[in-house]
Each structure stands twice: as C-alpha cells, then as structure tokens.
Amino acid sequence: MKKRIIRCSVFAAFVAVMYFICYGGITVPKYALTSPKIQSDEIRIVLLTDLHSVIYGKNQQVLIEHVKKQEPDLIFLVGDIADDRLPIRGTRLLLEGIQDLAPIYYTTGNHEYWSNDIQTIRDEIEAYGVRILADEYVHVTIRGTDLILAGVEDPSKQLHEVANYNQSMAMQNAFSDLESAEGYKILLAHRPEKIEEYLLYPFDLVVSGHTHGGQIRIPYLLNGLYAPHQGLFPQYGGGRYEHDEATHIISRGLAKDIKPRMFNPPEVVVITLVAENAQ
C-alpha cells in the first residue's frame, strides 16, 4: 500500500509539472508605452492572436473573463483567430463574449486563408461588429487621443484569393500618405518577420502574432526554438522589440493542443499607451 501511495504521488507530481511546463494557464503580459502623441493618462489595448478556434473553458468563458478583467479601450485580433481545420465555434464564442467590451479591429492570418473559405470567415467576424483592416487605415479618437489604426492582409492572400496580390505593393498603395497624417499610428500585421517592410512607414507601434512564442522556450536562455517563416531560433519569438522607428510587440498567441508548447503559456497581451507627462 505504501509503495502504491508513493507511485501515485510521483505520478501526480509528474502530471502537475508537465501541466506547468506545457500549458500553465493563460498569462497576461503587460507593456507600457509612452508617447507625446498620447493625450489621455492611458489607453488600454488587449491584443489577441493565434486562437485557432481553440476553446478555453465552457463556452470560451475562461478566455472571455481574462479579456473582461483588463477593461480594454480597444481590442486587436491579429490573425489566425479562426483555424483552417478546427470548427469556427471557438471563434464565434470569443467574439460573442467580447463584442460589447470595446471596439474590435482584426486583420487576417495565414490559417484563415488556408481554410479556402476566407470570405465566410470575414462575414462571420464582421457579424459581431468587428472592423476588418485589409490594407487600409482608419482614424479613431479614444479618450481624447487621435489614433491611426492600420492593418495589412496576410501574404497567403496571393495563394488563396487574389493571384496577383503583393503585400509590399498593397502597403505602398495604402500607407504612402501616412507621413503627413496626425495621430499615434498602429499597424496590425500578423507576421513579425516582415518588420523591416513595416518600418518603411511611420508607425509608432506594430503588433503581430504568428510565432506561437517559438513553441519551446527556456526562460532567460532561449526565446523560442522554432517559428513559422523564421525557422530555428527565430529572431522574433515573442515579446517587446524596440526599433529606432517603432515598438514591435509580438504575442505568443493562444493556440494550445495544436502544437507543443513548453515553458510558453498562451497569453492575453495588454498594451497601455501612456502620456509622457502622466503621473
């Protein structure tokens, strides 16, 4: 009996450790950015990426409650919110639960295009009042601060919707006049590895996903083992990156069970824009 208790205890400890290593629950990393362009004390943005239609808890309530607790002024959905293989129900449940919390803006990821049903996904997302940013930008005012919110389509559009689509040309056509536009400028762009192209335009902040945090991490030693379109030891695995021109924040995403994650929990990212003179 004693040996059986020991074996059960060891097994339970092993399960607990593996749960922590491979999942550990949703985390909420927070980033504060200051700028003279911000006129209010703060603007709170929740960034969600790479859900892949996964469901957290009954009817997506675990994820929805995480978003609610942040009391966002804006919500950004930066690609792969729907999956090409899993049913779209998880996406619907999320949108239903957050649609009245704050204005929501979305741009496409590669998996939405891989579904070969991108228009149906767009229609589903727009049905919840989400504004899709497709190679375009809009002016909004939040808490007295003028913002420019831009979004670029995923390059997979070329293979799955418009054969002659070119993301670089689309950005040039859409954003060439941004230099003279007034306001704090934010770009929603799914793929972080194309940051050098994004920096050709005067964005203050770029938000991305796609990497899934590099799948396997070793805190303080390895910020991601592998990321799509970057390969092994990606330069942009996840977190905050500072460039001369802009801040780049990459979410490690929300997908679980689809690909292995180690020391790399899914996350709901919170970005707070703060006035330079805020106390």
Per-residue pLDDT band at 258 (split at 50, 70, 90): low
- Output b/e per residue, 82-93; b: 16+ Cβ within 10 A: bbbebebebbbb
With beta carbons less than 8 A apart as the criterion, state whether 20 and 27 touch: no
Residues 87-133: tens digit of each pLDDT: 999 999 999 999 999 999 999 999 999 999 999 999 999 999 999 99
With beta carbons less than 8 A apart as the criterion, state whether 269 and 209 touch: no
**pTM metric for this prediction:** 0.90
- Output b/e per residue, 121-146; b: 16+ Cβ within 10 A: bbebbeebebebbebbbeebebeebb
User: What element of type H or E holds 269?
Assistant: strand 269-275
Note the Cα 225 to chain centre separation in Å: 19
Spatial separation of the C-alpha atoms in residues 111 and 118, rounded to whole Å: 9
With beta carbons less than 8 A apart as the criterion, state whether 38 and 197 touch: no
Spatial separation of the C-alpha atoms in residues 79 and 81, rounded to whole Å: 5
Residue ranges of domains in the chain, CATH in brackets: 26-275 (3.60.21.10)
Q: 10 Å Cβ neighbour count for 13?
A: 10
Q: Which of 150, 111, 123 is nearest to 134 (CA)?
A: 150
93, 215, 268 from 233: Cα distances, Å: 34, 10, 23
Per-residue pLDDT band at 12 (split at 50, 70, 90): very low
Higher pLDDT, 88 or 276: 88
User: What element of type H or E holds 240?
Assistant: strand 239-242
- The answer, yes or no, to whether residue 259 has pLDDT greater than 80, is no
Rounded to the nearest 10 degrees, what angle do helices 118-126 and 89-98 cross at? Answer: 20
Q: What is the mean pLDDT of residues 16-45?
A: 78
What does DSSP assign to residue 212? Answer: G
Spatial separation of the C-alpha atoms in residues 206 and 151, rounded to whole Å: 10
Residues 42-88: tens digit of each pLDDT: 999 999 999 999 999 999 999 999 999 999 999 999 999 999 999 99
Spatial separation of the C-alpha atoms in residues 239 and 75, rounded to whole Å: 18
- Lookup result for tokens 């929603």: 188
Q: 10 Å Cβ neighbour count for 16?
A: 10
Give residue 19's pLDDT: 39
Tokens standing for residue 31: 């980033």
Question: Dihedral of the CA atoms 228, 234, 236, 239 (nearest 10)?
Answer: 100
Residues 195-249: tens digit of each pLDDT: 999 999 999 999 999 999 888 888 888 888 999 999 999 999 999 999 998 999 9
